[in-house]
Amino acid sequence: MKLFRVLFAFDALALLVLLYFFVDGLQYASSGGDYFGTWLPILLVPVAVLAGAWGLSANGKTGVANVLLGILAAPFVLYLLFIGLFVVLQPDMR
C-alpha cells in the first residue's frame, strides 16, 4: 500500500507539471482549437491512469494498480535520473 501511495503521489506531481506547461502555453496559443486538440490526449491519459489506479486499489487490486502507476511513472523517473547525472557528474559543456 505504501508503494501505491508513493507512485500515486509521483504521478500526480507529474500531472501537475503537465498542467503547468498546458496553462503556460495558453498565452502563446492562437485562437484555433489545434492547441487543445494536441494537449487533450496528453492530459487525459495521465488522468485516466490515475483514476483507473485509484479504482483498482479501491477494489483490492493494489498490485495491478502499482503496475499501472509504474508504467506512467517510468518516463518521469528516467528523466529525473538523467538530470541527476548532470548534477552529480558536473560535465564541462564547452
**What is the per-residue pLDDT across 24-42, written as a single tens digit (0 to 9) for each?**
998 888 766 788 888 999 9
Q: How many residues does the chain have?
A: 94
CA dihedral 44, 49, 52, 58 (to 10 degrees): -130
Task: Please write the tens of the pLDDT for every residue from 59-90.
Answer: 999 999 999 999 999 998 899 899 999 999 99
Using alpha carbons, select from 49, 52, 39, 44 the residue that is nearest to residue 72: 49
pLDDT value of residue 92? 87
Q: Tell me the average pLDDT across 40-65.
A: 95
Q: What is the pTM of this model?
A: 0.81
**Radius of gyration for the alpha carbons in the chain, expressed in angstroms and rounded:** 17
Q: Tell me the average pLDDT across 3-8.
A: 94
- Domain locations in the chain as residue ranges: 2-89
